[in-house]
Amino acid sequence: MPLVPMRQILDEAAKGGYGVGAFNVNNMEQIQAIMQAASETQSPVIIQASRGALKYSKMIYLRNLIQAAVEDNPGIPIAMHLDHGNSVETVKQAIALGFTSVMIDGSLGEDGKTPNTYAANVAVTKEVVALAHPLGISVEAEIGVLGGIEDGHGAGLAAGSTEHLTDPEQAEEFYKQTGVDALAVAVGTSHGAYKSGRRDPVTGQVLPPALAMERIEEIHRRLPNCHMVMHGSSSVPQELVDIINQYGGKMPGTFGIPVEQIQRGIKHGVRKINVDTDIRLAMTGAVRKLFAEKPDKFDMRDWMTPARAAAAEVVKARMQQFGAAGHAGDYAPMTLDDMKKVYGFAR
Ligand code: G3H
Ligand code: 13P
Ligand code: ZN
């Protein structure tokens, strides 16, 4: 099957009451790991490329690698999504290359750091919807701002900051004004491996991140058909961090989002769950272990092979936990032309 519009994948997930993982990729091995997991669990999947990824690998390389994944896995619905598009220009480039879904992150300015005004967010999001929907391409936008400055973007808010969490009333207004297909909400998650930002004042121990899951429930009450997106949803498993630290890494005080919290979100309208850090941790641990145990190795395939296998394992677990496993064959895939009709733009 060809690439599928993300909107269909999310509509079907809503019907089935499950969530779909959106996994970040930068190279061939990550794409292969995700597809191995999707194929073994028979899960629909969203493969996404951030601006950082596009800079690292160049859009056209990633596009063609994802296209190879599509040809290699004809039975799996795959959406190719631009993650955290910062401007209309970036979105246009992704559309020209054949992405079936784009995110315009108008919650921040084009620098990817400064929080935007509500009006500016609405304006740029509407511009992207006007550009994408006539082509059958899905649009994700964001209301509220995530914490964390890892990965070179984000507003630089301290993880755990509640200042820019999504206001459900504003989310409702934004969703209705813009007509987006998926809405990223800020409920206390942040990008990267250090999501807590809180320590026990007495013991100094890192505490779990404070999440405002009740905001998701409130948005779902107001907008039962809105597909919500949780960014910063890596669970940062301690066992993966332990492998890194055991083999020479230094990652103290990490904390992720407990899977049960994501599952609670899925019960209340979260349909797309963004995961990048868990894949990074799995691959880094596997590479460190290989080099520590076999210091004579220098063939890239010797270290990429266990890294790819470790990534596949963590992705597989998430597909099962989000409930997407077994749903790949539930529906006939739509083309972008079919999707145009849904949006009201017949060919
Ligand atoms: O959106 C967050 C992802 O972790 C992407 O990170 O910008 O370093 O590729 P990146
Ligand atoms: P993590 O850093 O938690 O994996 O989040 C990734 C993300 O939100 C990509 O958009
Ligand atoms: Zn994100």
The CATH number covering residue 60 comes to 3.20.20.70
Tell whether 16 is covered by a domain.
Answer: yes
Tell whether 235 is covered by a domain.
Answer: yes
C-alpha–C-alpha distance, residues 310 and 175, integer Å = 38
C-alpha–C-alpha distance, residues 258 and 209, integer Å = 9
Tell whether ligand 1 has an atom less than 6 A from the beta carbon of residue 142. no
Residues whose CB falls within 8 Å of the CB of residue 204, separated by 6 or more in sequence, listed in order = none
Residue 108 has pLDDT above 90, yes or no: no
Residue 161 has pLDDT above 70, yes or no: no
Q: Which of 274, 280, 283 to mutate to test the pocket of ligand 2 (most atoms within 8 A of CB)?
A: 274
Please write down the HEC assignment for all residues of 103-155.
EECCCECCCCCCECCHHHHHHHHHHHHHHHHHHCCEEEEEECCCECCHHHCCC
Picking from 79, 87, 269, the residue whose alpha carbon sits closest to that of residue 183 is 269
By the 8 A CB rule, do 251 and 208 touch?
Answer: no
Model pLDDT for residues 268-323, shown as the tens digit of each residue: 999 999 999 999 999 999 999 999 999 999 999 999 999 999 999 999 999 999 99
Report the percentage of the chain scoring pLDDT > 70: 95
C-alpha–C-alpha distance, residues 88 and 124, integer Å = 7
The CA distances from residue 147 to 107, 120, 239, 259, 335, in Å, are 12, 20, 24, 19, 36
For atom 9 of ligand 2, the residue with the nearest CA is: 274
Residues whose CB falls within 8 Å of the CB of residue 148, separated by 6 or more in sequence, listed in order = 154, 157, 159, 190, 191, 192, 194, 195, 232
Model pLDDT for residues 308-338, shown as the tens digit of each residue: 999 999 999 999 999 999 999 999 999 999 9
Residue 176 has pLDDT above 70, yes or no: yes
The CA distances from residue 169 to 9, 105, 119, 265, 272, in Å, are 26, 19, 15, 18, 21
Tell whether 347 is covered by a domain.
Answer: no
Tell whether 330 is covered by a domain.
Answer: yes
Residue 52 has pLDDT above 70, yes or no: yes
Residue 152's pLDDT is 45
Tell whether ligand 1 has an atom less than 6 A from the beta carbon of residue 84. yes
Question: How would residue 59 be classed by pLDDT, with cut points 50, 70 and 90?
Answer: confident
Q: Which of 276, 277, 278, 280 to mutate to test the pocket of ligand 1 (most atoms within 8 A of CB)?
A: 276
Residue 60: helix, strand or coil by DSSP?
helix
Tell whether 229 is covered by a domain.
Answer: yes
Ligand 2 atom with the shortest distance to the CA of 231: 8
Ligand 2 binding pocket, CB closer than 6 Å: 24, 83-84, 191-192, 231-234, 274-277
Question: How would residue 159 be classed by pLDDT, with cut points 50, 70 and 90?
Answer: low
Residue 151 has pLDDT above 50, yes or no: no
Position of tokens 């296209």? 67
Tell whether 1 is covered by a domain.
Answer: no
Tokens of 330: 């539930």
Triad 34, 62, 10: Cα angle to 5°: 55
By the 8 A CB rule, do 178 and 122 touch?
Answer: yes
CA of 335 to the centre of ligand 3 (A): 26
Tell whether ligand 1 has an atom less than 6 A from the beta carbon of residue 138. no
Model pLDDT for residues 238-259, shown as the tens digit of each residue: 999 999 999 999 999 999 999 9
Q: Which residue range forms the structural domain that includes residue 313?
A: 6-342
C-alpha–C-alpha distance, residues 147 and 130, integer Å = 29
Residue 50's pLDDT is 95
Exposed e or buried b per residue across 79-97, where buried means at least 16 C-beta atoms within 10 angstroms of its C-beta: bbbbbbbbbeebbebbbeb
Tell whether ligand 1 has an atom less than 6 A from the beta carbon of residue 278. no
Domain count, the chain: 1
Read off the DSSP letter of residue 275: E
CA of 347 to the centre of ligand 3 (A): 33
Tell whether 273 is covered by a domain.
Answer: yes
| Catalytic status, residue 167 | no
By the 8 A CB rule, do 14 and 271 touch?
Answer: yes
